Structure 1
Amino acid sequence: MSTPFYVSPQQAMADRAEYARKGIARGRGLVVLQYTDGIVFVAENPSRALHKVSEIYDRIAFAATGKYNEYENLRIGGVRYADLRGYTYHRDDVTARGLANVYAQTLGTIFSSVGEKPYEVELLVAEVGESAEDDQIYRLPHDGSIIDEHGSVAVGGNSDQIGSYLDQHQRDDMTLGEALRLAVAALGRDGNGSVRELTADQLEVAVLDRTRPQQRKFKRVLGRRLTELLAEGESGTEGGAPEADASGGSTQE
């Protein structure tokens, strides 16, 4: 009988981590920024059908980069968890922290399992609070660890350079237009030092707006409104509503 090939647990985990990181790095960048009235999500995503940013519950949104089929399964599971918990207990019992813990357990179990490959995804879960101090942003890498972020965070391809640019320019008192233009400028920076100009057709943008009178704070920024914010970014143009919103139940896009 042949002796099975031995690989140390440390080497096996390192190989799985490297495999997942390479898959995530092939994805387009995604940025989450806090601004005066909430949290904005900006992703480089030319598709209008395959979303990288989605609503989970009243004040909670989900964003991801990597393999679409894998993070879409996680998104659906998060919506089911939120709906069930809100129905069983109270809507206020559905929190970004609780959702992040659920995702961490799922990703950690998959990453440590020898029976399947690790997920090539990196997740962001955010919850908008009554004030900026109450906002919560959690980043979950492929191994299921949870990282509490503040101000700004970038994931996906070239995330280190994008994140460094955001750290240098992000401010707590930014308007939506200023935050959006900063995110787009950061996403346009390639690893070789060149700068690309991203248009509205190449972007997926959504916000958690704490000033919104509805219980649901998530809305997408589309069409003319997005173009105006990219072109001007002036505080005087930010009082109007986006051209289109997410509508219906929490499972709808």
Structure 2
Amino acid sequence: MTQQFYVSPEQLMKDRADFARKGIARGRSVVVLTCRDGIALVAENPSPSLHKLGEIYDRIGFAAVGKYNEFESLRQAGVRYADVRGYSYSRDDVSARGLASVYAQSLGSVFTTEGKPFEVELAVAEVGAEPYQDHLYRLTFDGSIADESNYVVMGGQADVVNEALARSWNQDTGFPDAIRTAVGALSATRAPAEPTGTANGSSGYGNPGSAADAGAAPERLGAGLLEVAVLDRNPMSSRGTVRAFRRINTVELDRLLSGPEGD
């Protein structure tokens, strides 16, 4: 009779966490940041239909990195939760905090009981009437939840993007400047625009840090490689609707990224 193979709980949890982190790190980064006009959500995403950003409820947005099928199922579950709660009680009873708690429970349950953890990282954002009323929640694959302030960076080379964002973020800017700031931070992981010498290892998945080390300017992400949405702080006055979420199309984004004159 063969003896059952034993793995300690500590080693099992560590292996699952390492597996999930590697999967998330392969994804392109997402930035969610607050500003004077509301909350901007910016993702490096060349797909026009497989969205990493979405709307959950009137003033609540969703951003994710990792495996699309996994975070899309979570987004849909969040929409159902918000609709049922808003219909059963009141629309004011639907909050980012409540939604983040539900997501944390689901992610934690999958991480501890299922054979494979979700390879996802989520951000739930709720825009308030004033900047100090904004809420940003970050959720990791194991169900951990953090109440963030100012901005959230997820996926890819988050450390590089976070460092670039820390130098340039300003809460007193409007959406155009905030989006340009986020795009500039995401572009910090890119290779140089066009090396003057030979381009050894110049694939899209090369070492992005080498550009900064060499002092070369990184290639700026274009509108076709980005997915951008905003949560408008005053949607009633600007668009006549209570729904704060709005996607920025490629034409508008290209004009916005062209320079300050897009303001």
Give your verdict on TM over 0.5: yes
Cα distance in structure 2, aligned partners of 1:116 and 1:37: 43
Match of 1:192 in 2: 209
Shift of 1:229: 1.2
Match of 2:31 in 1: 31
Match of 1:47 in 2: 47
Q: Structure 1 residue 66 and structure 2 residue 83: aligned?
A: no
Is there any run of 5+ residues in structure 2 with no aligned partner, and where? 190-207, 212-217
Shift of 1:212: 1.3
Shift of 1:219: 0.2
- For the structure 1 residues 193 and 136, does the alpha-carbon distance in structure 2 shift closer, same or farther, using more than 3 Å as the test? farther
Match of 1:243 in 2: none
Superimposed CA distance per residue, residues 115-138 of structure 1 (whole angstroms, 9 cap, x where no aligned partner): 420000000000000100000000
Aligned to 2:260, the other structure's residue is in SS state coil
**Do 1:176 and 1:233's aligned partners in 2 also have CA atoms closer than 8 Å?**
no
Q: 2:250 aligns with which of 212, 223, 226?
A: 223
Match of 1:165 in 2: 164
Cα distance in structure 2, aligned partners of 1:106 and 1:43: 24
- For the structure 1 residues 233 and 153, does the alpha-carbon distance in structure 2 shift closer, same or farther, using more than 3 Å as the test? farther
Amino acid at match of 2:234: T
Superimposed CA distance per residue, residues 24-65 of structure 1 (whole angstroms, 9 cap, x where no aligned partner): 000001001111110000001111110000000000011100
Cα distance in structure 2, aligned partners of 1:223 and 1:212: 21
Amino acid at match of 1:202: L
Return the TM-score normalized by structure 1: 0.90
Query: Structure 1 residue runs of 4+, over 6 Å off?
Result: none
Cα distance in structure 2, aligned partners of 1:150 and 1:167: 12
Match of 1:210 in 2: 233
Match of 2:12 in 1: 12
Listed as ranges, the matches of 1:88-103 within 5 Å are 88-103=88-103
**Do 1:152 and 1:167's aligned partners in 2 also have CA atoms closer than 8 Å?**
no
Cα distance in structure 2, aligned partners of 1:42 and 1:141: 19
Amino acid at match of 2:258: A
Larger Rg: 2
Shift of 1:178: 1.2
Match of 1:153 in 2: 152
- For the structure 1 residues 52 and 152, does the alpha-carbon distance in structure 2 shift closer, same or farther, using more than 3 Å as the test? same
Cα distance in structure 1, aligned partners of 2:26 and 2:257: 26
Cα distance in structure 2, aligned partners of 1:184 and 1:233: 14
Superimposed CA distance per residue, residues 156-185 of structure 1 (whole angstroms, 9 cap, x where no aligned partner): 100011112111211111121111111111
Cα distance in structure 2, aligned partners of 1:193 and 1:80: 44
Cα distance in structure 2, aligned partners of 1:233 and 1:179: 11
Aligned to 2:17, the other structure's residue is in SS state helix
Cα distance in structure 2, aligned partners of 1:21 and 1:197: 26
Return the TM-score normalized by structure 2: 0.87
User: What percent of counterpart residues are identical?
Assistant: 54
- For the structure 1 residues 233 and 193, does the alpha-carbon distance in structure 2 shift closer, same or farther, using more than 3 Å as the test? farther
RMSD (Å) for aligned C-alpha atoms: 1.1
Cα distance in structure 2, aligned partners of 1:65 and 1:124: 9
Shift of 1:196: 2.4
